[in-house]
């Protein structure tokens, strides 16, 4: 209800300013198929809109075909996926595979209560060669989006994120697990 209340004010502000300022980027947002939760997505949308992003919100229960079609039609710079329930995680993986199949290259942002950096690194980022970033919460969305569309910061951020996600995969596979401290070391490091 609060998002619905704020939206006309945001639109009026854009109209009043006369659209002089070019949007920072165009971001498509959707809650994936099988999920009807949109509170978090709506909050992220308002935060982005307040920070000069043009947000295309497809709503809830959006199948991958519709997301890809809208992304192409609307010429968006970034796609943001949201999900709250566990089955959303598999749908996000499916969406990443579809983006890869369509040879898309735009950044893919992943967010929602059941999502995690680990799941994004293990399952979603490995399915899509474009930049894939888990966004912890609405307060981080603008920083991540602005970095991804920056001419000077994007390349390093994407590379650093890929390295971080590879470390997560390696640690999960046991390749870089830190050796455990000995009992004597642990006792010496006690309280």
Q: Is 88 a catalytic residue?
A: yes
d(CA 27, CA 56): 6
Pick the catalytic residue from 2, 35, 129, 160.
Answer: 35
Pick the catalytic residue from 37, 54, 129, 146.
Answer: 37
Asked if residue 44 lies in contact with residue 111, where contact means CB atoms within 8 angstroms, the answer is yes
Q: Is 151 a catalytic residue?
A: no
Find how far residue 103's CA is from the centre of its chain. Answer: 19
Comparing CA positions, the residue from 144, 112, 141 lying closest to residue 38 is 112
Pick the catalytic residue from 38, 64, 88, 134.
Answer: 88
d(CA 124, CA 107): 12
d(CA 186, CA 180): 9
DSSP 23-34: PS-EEEEEEBTT
How close are the terminal C-alpha atoms of the chain, in Å? 49
Would you name the residues annotated as active-site residues?
35, 37, 88
């Amino acid at each position: 209800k609060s998002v619905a209340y704020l939206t006309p004010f945001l639109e009026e502000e854009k109209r009043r300013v006369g659209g002089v300022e070019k949007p920072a980027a165009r971001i498509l947002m959707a809650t994936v198929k099988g999920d009807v939760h949109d509170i978090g997505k709506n909050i992220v949308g308002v935060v982005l809109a307040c920070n000069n992003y043009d947000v295309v919100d497809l709503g809830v229960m959006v199948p991958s075909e519709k997301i890809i079609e809208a992304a192409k039609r609307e010429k968006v710079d970034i796609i943001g996926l949201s999900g709250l329930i566990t089955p959303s995680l598999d749908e996000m993986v499916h969406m990443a595979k579809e983006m890869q199949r369509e040879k898309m290259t735009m950044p893919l942002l992943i967010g929602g209560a059941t999502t995690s950096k680990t799941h994004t690194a293990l399952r979603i980022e490995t399915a899509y060669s474009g930049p894939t970033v888990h966004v912890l919460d609405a307060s981080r969305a603008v920083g991540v989006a602005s970095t991804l569309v920056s001419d000077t910061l994007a390349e390093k951020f994407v590379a650093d994120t890929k390295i971080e996600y590879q470390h997560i995969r390696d640690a999960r596979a046991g390749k870089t697990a830190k050796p455990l401290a000995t009992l004597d070391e642990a006792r010496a490091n006690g309280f």
